Chain A
Amino acid sequence: MTGSAMVFYAAAVLTVVFAAVMVVHRNPVKSTLALVVSFFGLAICYVLLSAPLIAVLQVIVYAGAILVLFLFVLMLLNLREEPAPPGSSRPIQTVLSGVAIVSFAGLMLGLIRASGDPAAGADPQPLTDIARVSRLLFSDYLLPFEAVSVLLLAALVGAFVLVYSEKRA
């Protein structure tokens, strides 16, 4: 096993463990911080899978911007760790959703196994070449790129309209 493979498996374990911590923790702030660690582990995986641009975006945009936005909203709403209200445990639903999730994962793994490993295409240029990815983004994918900018503007206006209250004026 090469060194980079070992780093990949270590990052994979880190990612899965902190994702599980995110799901089971009751405190939303600690949950969000666990997801930040999990996304850092994913960024390490992206670097090893020769996608350095996506790894940088993962750290800056996901861990740095989106999850910090979550933290801001959590602090704004002042949400505390809330104990489970009495009579809220629903064992039947829990067991059923567990069965559904396990069967989903088994189905996906079966499909992946059945599809087999695709033949690796001969590639003269490595994918780590950011200039190549960027050139493709600004030539063939220019229209989706501009559409995303319109989407972000619409999200900005929509978020403002949703939280704007006229009473404050």
Chain B
Amino acid sequence: MSGPVPLLHVLILSVALFAIGLTGALLRRNAIHIFLSIELMMNAANLALIGYALSWGTPEGQIVVFFVIAIAAAEASVGLAIFVALFRHTKTIDVNQVNLLKW
């Protein structure tokens, strides 16, 4: 079974999104921006999984994506709770000004 576009194009889109997300995670200093970039990288991986699932004709890739979405929800709730707790202590979520764990 083949999709509307070649698998290679799906994977190129996935790599492009992952690279954009990596740029954001490396260059931004606002913790919310870093977190959003990580979500974008997860979605790039999901896109690659769905592309391969369609190319191989097996539904396992879609099931892995299902679990990734569920785990992303758990990660987002705990991560945002950490930001709220951090903001209470330091009044900022700029990761350069948070060095509590630095020796």
Contacts and interface: CB of A to CB of B under 8 A. Distances in A.
Interface string B11-24: 11101111111111
Contacts of A15: 13, 17
B64 to A, nearest CB: 9
B95 interface: no
Contacts of A101: 19, 22-23, 26
Interface in A136-169: 136-137, 141, 144, 148, 151-152, 154-156, 158-160, 162-163, 165
A163 B4 contact: no
Residue from A5, A45, A118 with most neighbouring chain B CB atoms (10 Å): A45
B3 A23 contact: no
Interface string A1-30: 010110111001001100110110000100
Contacts of A61: 69, 73
Contact of B16 (A16, A144, A159): A16
A16 B17 contact: yes
A55 B48 CA distance: 14
A61 to B, nearest CB: 5
Contacts of A79: 30, 32, 93
A117 B1 contact: no
Residue from B1, B17, B72, B84 with most neighbouring chain A CB atoms (10 Å): B1
Interface residues of B, number: 75
Residue from A67, A82, A101 with most neighbouring chain B CB atoms (10 Å): A101
Given A101-B23, A133-B62, A74 B3 contact: no
Interface of A: 2, 4-5, 7-9, 12, 15-16, 19-20, 22-23, 28, 31-32, 35, 38-39, 42, 45-46, 48-51, 53-54, 57-58, 61-62, 65-67, 69-70, 73-74, 76-77, 79, 82, 88, 94, 97-98, 100-102, 104-105, 108-109, 112-113, 117-118, 120-123, 126-127, 132-133, 136-137, 141, 144, 148, 151-152, 154-156, 158-160, 162-163, 165
Interface of B: 1-13, 15-24, 26-30, 32-33, 35-37, 39-40, 43, 46-47, 50-60, 62-63, 65-67, 69-78, 80-85, 87-88, 93-94, 96
25 contacts: A5-B5, A8-B4, A9-B9, A31-B32, A32-B32, A32-B36, A38-B40, A39-B43, A45-B10, A45-B13, A54-B46, A58-B43, A66-B76, A77-B83, A77-B87, A82-B94, A97-B27, A109-B12, A117-B7, A133-B63, A137-B66, A141-B63, A155-B73, A155-B78, A163-B84
